[in-house]
Amino acid sequence: MIWLLIRAIVSALFIVAGLLKLRDAELTLISVYQYQLMSWESAGVLAATLPWIEIAGGVGIWLPKLRLGGATLCLGLTVLFIAALGSAVARDLDVSCGCFGTSDLHVTALKRLGEDMVLLVLCGGLWRSELHRIRAQLQFEAETA
């Protein structure tokens, strides 16, 4: 039951974040670029790709055959966000995250980093539970083969 709730929260967060990024592609591009980690063109490609990966991760964790993949994507993206935000904080950059479109323009990078840590725990837990499930499944298949 608890995993169902966690899955719903993680899934909703990633799907909503992806949709908001798609709604305002220009802002997403600026948000990616302002981290000053890549060229404008690379930021453009990432800004066009990232929302779809977020949505794929959010949807994937509901599909029985892709749950582990979805959880892995969500976990990987969260680690990526934390690394990017951490590097921005370390370089004292003015970033507004842009994770949830225009609604978080006033959220400081440090606060967002804290929220991402919570998300990391949720995604990590979800990923671990899916890993156990798949392992049990593979073990069962090996025993019955």
Partner 1 sequence: MIRRLIKATAQQVIILLGLAGIPALLTVVFDWEWKKPAEFMEMSATQSEGQMEGLLWVDVRDPDRFEQAHVRGAIALVEETPGPALDSLRERWMPGKRIIVYGEGSGSERAIRAGRMLKREFHTQNVLLLRGGWASWPRDRGVESMPQTVSPQ
**Would you tell me which residues interact with partner 1 (CB under 8 A)?**
24-26, 29-30, 33-34, 36, 39-41, 43-45, 47-49, 52-53, 55-57, 60, 65-70, 72-73, 94-96, 102, 105-109, 131, 134-135, 138-139, 142
77 near 11, Cβ under 8 Å?
Answer: no
Question: What is the smallest separation between the CB atom of 18 and partner 1, expressed in angstroms?
Answer: 9
The span from the CA of 128 to the CA of 46, in Å, is 27
Amino acid at 142: A
Spatial separation of the C-alpha atoms in residues 70 and 83, rounded to whole Å: 20
Q: How far apart are the first and last CA of the chain?
A: 31
Q: Which is nearer to partner 1, 110 or 121 (CB)?
A: 110
Radius of gyration of the chain (CA): 17
Minimum gap (Å) between residue 22 Cβ and partner 1: 8
Q: Which is nearer to partner 1, 56 or 122 (CB)?
A: 56
Question: Of 51 and 122, which CB lies nearer to partner 1 in the complex structure?
Answer: 51
Please name which of 59, 83, 75 lies closest in space to residue 129, comparing C-alpha atoms. 75
For the packed helices 25-33 and 40-60, what is the interaxial angle rounded to 10 degrees? 110
User: Residue 44 or residue 124: which is nearer to partner 1 going by CB?
Assistant: 44
